[in-house]
Amino acid sequence: MSQRPDVDLAREIRALKREKPKNTRDQIAAKLHVSVRTISNYSNHKWLSKRGMAYLPDIGQESQEPRSAVEKEAWGLCQSGDHEWMKVALYEVHAFRVTEAIKEQPGHTGSTVGTVYRVTTCSFCGFSIEQRTFNWIAV
């Protein structure tokens, strides 16, 4: 069974992150008298989602506050833990960014297998979705 997250600890982590965005996991762990692993767990969207909590921004990432009506709407959806809105082009640039990532790995007999991903990243919390666009093999 999954460990139940401490909501008060999550609030304290968010408060420290908002207070000073450049705080590292080590600094936050020292202030709260918990392990760095605990801070890492509370910063991991998969760990939190398995436990029914919304995603906390990554400790190393600066948080972005919403400015326009479109950003405020997207921010509300982000805070509820629903990131399906990132599939709607209206929010692109305002609330999420799209980049391309290439991952290569060795194949059989000296070949290289490459994969190109379209990476969509939330501007508020850092949640990202990777979608494979195509593969190639270099012999």
pLDDT by residue (tens digit) across 66-92? 577 888 888 888 877 788 888 888 888
Predicted TM-score (pTM) of this structure: 0.50
Q: For 97, phi and psi rounded to 5 degrees?
A: -125, 150
Give the pLDDT score at 117: 92
Q: Nearest to residue 119, comparing CAs of 100, 93, 104, 133?
A: 100
* Ranges of each domain in the chain: 7-50, 69-138
CA distances from 27 to 6, 13, 130 (A): 19, 11, 30
Q: Considering just the CA atoms, what is the radius of gyration of the chain in Å?
A: 18
Both tokens assigned to 42: 């509370």
Residues (pLDDT < 70) of the chain are 1-4, 45-46, 49-66
Torsion sign over Cα 18, 52, 92, 43: positive
Query: Residue 123's pLDDT is what?
Result: 81
Q: What is the DSSP string of 72-110?
A: HHHHHHHHTT--GGGGSGGGBTTTEEEEEEEEEEE-GGG
